[in-house]
Amino acid sequence: MKKRIGILTAGGDCPGLNAAIRGVVRASYHLFDAEIIGIRGGFRGLIEGDYQPMEESQFSNILTRGGTILGTSRTPFSQMRSNGDGPDKVAEMKKNYRAMRLDCLVCLGGNGTHKTANLLSEEGLNVIGLPKTIDNDIYGTDFTFGFHTAVDIATDVVDRIHTTAASHGRCMVIELMGNKSGWLTLYAGVAGGADVILLPEFPYDIQKVAEVVETRANLRKSFSIIAVAEGAMDKDEKDMKKKDREAARVESPYNSISHRIATQLEQMVGVECRTVIPGHIQRGGTPCAYDRVLSTEFGVHAAHLIRDDIYGVTVAVDGRSIIHNKLSDIAGVAKPVLWDGPMVRSAMGLNVSFGI
Ligand code: F6P
């Protein structure tokens, strides 16, 4: 019996989305009689009924392509139930799922996507999740696809900054993505040999950061590299309510956390500082080999789940095994960098400072 599979990619894009789509589709065609319906622009497409049946040829030559051939959008989970700006979105999604006569819906996305996927599963739809995000912050999986490519890109930034920092004897503050999570900055900071790594999980003391920069200057290491996550905060901000912290940032004269740290260090230590913000470059371009493999493994595992009618789950990697977790067990659960985790321990072993 033919299975009709709807696929969508939601939230911020990342390298590996197309490789994962290809994995699901190719393995499905191989394992059973499959028909693929591409839903455009993430959950927006499911809400608005923007979809099209796809041909096998449309999935050719996409393994190495960055972004997503299906398009994506951010449709906040908090607004899924609200009908203030139109019809109830969940009801619309269920209606379109039925209009497409889907046997299942495959949702490629991050934390928000998994919350919506879980909601749709609770509403009775057959849903499978695939965890993507450069933030690597999805609970229950060692890694998300897209993460390692972003680490490679961010590491290249740190490497290149090293040579110019050393030539000028400057302190360089590199601000990396990751939203509220520090995984990307931790990995790129260690891989690129940063002297200081500042993460949202460990609120920093600027005095401690200044001491590192000053000590290095006194040791005639005239430059310092600071990798700071965009979501990092100092000890004072940690004690503030989120609303107050955000308001204080809007009112502050600094347009980013890296700008604030650089200005403070210039004043406190008297070193020349510069900031670098690679931004969305970290999400762009072709996936690295690791992500191509992981995306493919995730996609093929999803096809096996569809063949076996196993729904309400998301695919994950645990050590060298590809597994699946219940959506209800992982949706909305955080995966922070842990102080006693192996990466932090290794960084501490190298005398890298976390500013605490
Ligand atoms: O979740 C991925 C991510 O790149 C975060 O690291 C970052 O905070 C956010 O998306 C940026 O979102 P947008 O692409 O909507 O600006």
Those residues of the chain that have pLDDT short of 50 are: none
For residue 222, the model assigns a pLDDT of: 81
Q: What is the pLDDT of residue 79?
A: 87
Q: In 3D, which of 282, 308, 288, 171 has the Cα closest to residue 229?
A: 282
Nearest CA owner, ligand 1 atom 12: 12
**Cα 11 to Cα 99: distance, rounded to the nearest angstrom:** 24
Burial of 95 (0-12, 13-18, 19+ CB in 10 A): middle
| Cβ-based neighbour number of residue 345 at 10 Å | 11
Bridge partners for 109 per DSSP: 131
How many Å lie between the centroid of ligand 1 and the Cα of residue 266?
29
Say how far apart CA 152 and CA 188 lie, in whole Å: 7
Q: What is the pLDDT of residues 273-289, one digit of tens each?
A: 999 999 999 999 999 99
Domains of the chain: 3-145+287-330 (3.40.50.450), 150-283 (3.40.50.460)
CA-closest residue to ligand 1 atom 15: 12
User: Which residue's entry shows tokens 């645990």?
Assistant: 318
How far is the C-alpha of 182 from the C-alpha of 199, rounded, in Å? 5
> Which residues is 317 bridged to in the sheet?
322
Q: Which residues are catalytic?
A: 135
Task: Give residues with Cβ within 8 angstroms of 222, minimum separation 6.
Answer: 166, 169, 216
The pLDDT value given to residue 329: 98
Distance 187 CA to ligand 1 centre (A): 18
**Mutational pocket test of ligand 1: of 14, 181, 283, 335, the residue with most ligand atoms within 8 Å of the beta carbon:** 283
Q: Ligand 1 centroid vs 351 CA: distance in angstroms?
A: 30
Name the one residue in this structure whose structure tokens are 């109830």: 88
Mutate to test the pocket of ligand 1, among 147, 179, 256 (most ligand atoms within 8 A of CB): 179
- Is the entire prediction scored with pTM above 0.85? yes
